[in-house]
Amino acid sequence: MILFHWKIGRLLPVLTIAACLGSAGTLTPGFGSLPAFAAEKAVPAEKNPPGDIPDTQVFIDYAAPQGFTMKVPEGWARSDRADGASFVDKLDGVVVSAAKADAAPTVESAKADYVQKLEATGRAVRVTAVKQVKLPAGPAIRIVYTSNSEPNAVTNKQIRLENERYLYFKDGKLITLELYAPKGADNVDQWQLMSNSFRWK
């Protein structure tokens, strides 16, 4: 499903895809009835992109009822859902969601199914990397891509976003962590802090 957050006159996109693993062990995200925007042209990145998370940003512990904990930015607007939560500040966002899965995703299964559906249903999605990474919580799949934002409801303007998505798996549960910001924003350290802070309860 696609969630929209209104803040300071902007329409902020949060794309949440509940993912599960099929009986054959291939990753089959529940993209459902999402409209296809694959043919949409990528908008240019901002010359001086907003969206840098300040070095002084404080992070607090978030304990999810879905069975995990992680650090999230203090003061960001939080929206809870049955499958997870989102944390949004202006053009930056963090989204976590949980789904059932039969097996851990692999680079191959993610490329074969998950990425194809992401590219087919997202707004001008361009995936640049799909890798397995070793994190404190265990191995995970990291997907790096860019996409267009939803058009602003007033100006119809879109911005180019950079995204990182992490897939964590344990005991039949798949947690998806999505991080997004305007393309060119410098959030490497903050995104690494959040992805590394993930822990299973």
In a domain, 51, yes or no: no
In a domain, 131, yes or no: yes
Q: The domain that contains 87 carries what CATH number? A: 3.40.1000.10
In a domain, 93, yes or no: yes
Identify residue 101 by its one-letter amino acid code.
A
pLDDT score recorded for residue 36: 60
pLDDT score recorded for residue 31: 44
In a domain, 47, yes or no: no
| DSSP per position, 95-128 | EEEEEE-SS---HHHIIIIIHHHHHHHSBS-EEE
In a domain, 116, yes or no: yes
Domain count, the chain: 1
In a domain, 50, yes or no: no
Block means of pLDDT (10 residues each) for the chain, 201 residues, are 36 40 37 59 82 94 97 98 94 94 96 90 95 98 95 91 97 96 95 98 92
In a domain, 143, yes or no: yes
In a domain, 159, yes or no: yes
Q: Which domain holds residue 75?
A: 2-42+56-200
Biggest CA-to-CA distance, the chain: 46
